[in-house]
Amino acid sequence: MQTFTDQDIAAMDKLTRVQFATSLPGAKPISLIGTTDLAGQCNLAPFSSVLHLGSSPCLLGMVSRPDLVERHTLANLTEVRAWTINHLHPAILDAAHQCSARYPKDVSEFAATGLSAHFHPGFLAPFVAESRFRIGLELEDIIPIPANGTRLIVGRVVLVQVAEENMLDHGGIDLTGVDCLASTALDTYFQLRPLARLAHAMPGQDPQRI
Amino acid sequence: MQTFTDQDIAAMDKLTRVQFATSLPGAKPISLIGTTDLAGQCNLAPFSSVLHLGSSPCLLGMVSRPDLVERHTLANLTEVRAWTINHLHPAILDAAHQCSARYPKDVSEFAATGLSAHFHPGFLAPFVAESRFRIGLELEDIIPIPANGTRLIVGRVVLVQVAEENMLDHGGIDLTGVDCLASTALDTYFQLRPLARLAHAMPGQDPQRI
């Protein structure tokens, strides 16, 4: 094993350090965050920091860095208090990655990449029509992370859209059925290959595959 | 597409709702968090909420729920101010999942599951010897999430251990080389299949595969 210390990491050149640091979580989720301002100017941005915060109420979080691309997302969801999470599949990966380009605020990434906006009645933020697994959220909280000036955005899930055939009997969603992707570093994408489902673990019992 | 509203989600029975809610982020990272108390009683717990917070300094976060299993982790890392992230591969998946069983605090999950503790000189928290990709962190902050009483634990990366052959030229780590896993819901695990690496996106340029 090679060991890197914090001094080794600090001594890396900037892009190497970013690729290294963004590899550390392992497999990351990757989705397109859809927002709009109150004038109807839409925005799409890829995020790889969406995480589960709670099931009752159903809460998800994501981290916004204080940079240009993500500021459009943060400004819009602060204004409208709603946003969407749109999971990727291979056919929309290139368009989704292109949404990470630094377009000016008056350019919609929908128009720039050819993805289509889909609106749900009564919900302001745009969904990606081509996504097979979409989530609508309302803003619950924005929590500052003092260590580096990032923010944890907390949302309450109010809409989930997925094909009925991709709902599993136990309540979960069939990620390989929707061909959901994973990511790592800044630029690397994976498909998922099912490995195992394991029964609820109990002390003194051997692990059981379902 | 089937649409679930927040009322639909609230009406689900508890286990169904938890499986549903923990499916929403898509592919989640999964790793074993290694901690110890000051008396040397070690603990291992699987977490699927590790995320990148920043590269300079190199910061990772994870969410701790206020339940029994994760409280051992939270109590230990509050006491010792250090912990480890140990990525999984297929050969240690069953043992890692078994660490989610509710063992009493005086039982080490290392002893209960047969995984081996590995200590790095000068670093108190235990690594999992069998892991192929290990990270040591020092506590930076614990941030309350008022919406549901969970906490965001923020750590500064001080050690990373991975085989030299799994370091990529661009600085990232070869997740398929270490056979890193992804997870979803409470109980479902995936291997990663490489799909694409895409060049830095620029407005007006077509997406380019590397």
pLDDT digits (tens, 9 = 90+) for A132-164: 999 999 999 999 999 999 999 999 999 999 999
Radius of gyration for the alpha carbons in chain B, expressed in angstroms and rounded? 18
Residue B109 sits at the vertex; the CA angle it makes with B108 and B111, to the nearest 5 degrees, is 70
Q: For residues B181 and B90, is the Cβ–Cβ distance under 8 A?
A: yes
Q: Exposure string (b/e) for B164-173, b if CB count within 10 Å is 16 or more? A: eebbbebbbb
Of A70, A85, A75, A72, the C-alpha closest to A32 is: A85
The span from the CA of A15 to the CA of A92, in Å, is: 26
Of A60, A9, A144, the C-alpha closest to B141 is: A144
Q: Indicate the domain borders of chain A.
A: 25-190
pLDDT of residue A69: 64
Q: For residues A49 and A152, is the Cβ–Cβ distance under 8 A?
A: no
Could you tell me the pLDDT band of residue A181, with boundaries at 50, 70 and 90?
A: very high
Using alpha carbons, list the distances in angstroms from residue A3 to A17, A19, A153, B89. Answer: 15, 17, 34, 19
Closest chain B residue by Cα to residue A123: B5
Q: Report helix, strand or coil for B206.
A: coil
Q: Which residues in chain A are closer than 8 Å to B111, comparing Cβ atoms?
A: none
**Is the pTM above the cut of 0.90?**
yes
- Asked if A107's CB is within 8 angstroms of B26's CB, the reply is no
Query: Considering CB atoms only, which of A3, A59, A150 is closest to B53?
Result: A150
Helix or strand holding residue A72 (H, E): helix A68-80
- Whether chain A has a CB inside 8 Å of the CB on B122: the answer is no
Q: Report helix, strand or coil for A205.
A: coil
CA distance A39 to chain B (A): 23
pLDDT of residue A66: 74
Q: Which residues in chain B are closer than 8 Å to A112, comparing Cβ atoms?
A: 203
Query: Considering CB atoms only, which of A22, A135, A201 is closest to B100?
Result: A201
Residue A35 sits at the vertex; the CA angle it makes with A29 and A37, to the nearest 5 degrees, is 160
Query: Considering CB atoms only, which of A6, A159, A206 is closest to B3?
Result: A159
User: What number is the average pLDDT over the span B13-19?
Assistant: 97
| Domain B26-191 homologous superfamily, CATH | Electron Transport, Fmn-binding Protein; Chain A (2.30.110.10)
- Whether chain A has a CB inside 8 Å of the CB on B38: the answer is no
User: In percent, how much of chain B has pLDDT > 70?
Assistant: 98
Bridging pattern class, strands B188-197 and A188-197: antiparallel
Q: Which residues in chain B are closer than 8 Å to A27, comparing Cβ atoms?
A: 27-30, 175, 180-182, 190, 192
The DSSP output letter for A90 is G
pLDDT of residue A71: 84
- Whether chain B has a CB inside 8 Å of the CB on A142: the answer is no
The span from the CA of B30 to the CA of B27, in Å, is: 9
Question: What is the CATH number that goes with domain A25-190?
Answer: 2.30.110.10
- Asked if B192's CB is within 8 angstroms of A192's CB, the reply is yes
Residue of B67, B133, B190, B209 for testing the chain A interface, max A β-carbons within 10 Å:
B190
Of A86, A104, A100, A82, the C-alpha closest to A38 is: A82
Helices (H), A28-67: none
Q: Which residues in chain B are closer than 8 Å to A48, comparing Cβ atoms?
A: 52
Q: Hey, which bits of chain B come out as E strands? A: 2-5, 28-29, 31-36, 42-47, 51-55, 58-64, 82-87, 117-118, 127-128, 133-145, 150-162, 181-184, 188-197
Query: Considering CB atoms only, which of A3, A94, A143 is closest to B143?
Result: A143
The torsion angle over the Cα atoms of residues A74, A76, A78 and A80, rounded to 10 degrees, is: -150
- Asked if A57's CB is within 8 angstroms of B148's CB, the reply is yes
Structure tokens at A146: 């003092």
User: In percent, how much of chain A has pLDDT > 90?
Assistant: 96
CA distance A209 to chain B (A): 9
Q: For residues A2 and B162, is the Cβ–Cβ distance under 8 A?
A: yes
Exposed, middle or buried, A7 (CB in 10 Å: 0-12/13-18/19+)? exposed
- Whether chain B has a CB inside 8 Å of the CB on A164: the answer is yes
pLDDT tens, position by position, A70-119: 689 999 999 999 999 999 999 999 999 999 999 998 999 999 999 999 99
Residue A134 sits at the vertex; the CA angle it makes with B149 and B12, to the nearest 5 degrees, is 55
User: What number is the average pLDDT over the span B162-190?
Assistant: 98
Q: Which residues in chain A are closer than 8 Å to B9, comparing Cβ atoms?
A: 58, 157, 160
CA distance A60 to chain B (A): 8
pLDDT tens, position by position, B38-82: 999 999 999 999 999 999 999 999 999 876 666 899 999 999 999
pLDDT tens, position by position, A34-71: 999 999 999 999 999 999 999 999 999 999 987 666 68
DSSP3 helix / strand / coil % (chain A, rounded to 5): 20, 40, 40
Using alpha carbons, list the distances in angstroms from residue A197 to A201, B19, B54, B178. Answer: 12, 12, 32, 21
Query: Considering CB atoms only, which of B18, B23, B152 is closest to A173?
Result: B23
CA distance B81 to chain A (A): 15
Q: Which residues in chain A are closer than 8 Å to B55, comparing Cβ atoms?
A: 17-18, 20-22
pLDDT of residue B71: 84
pLDDT of residue A65: 86
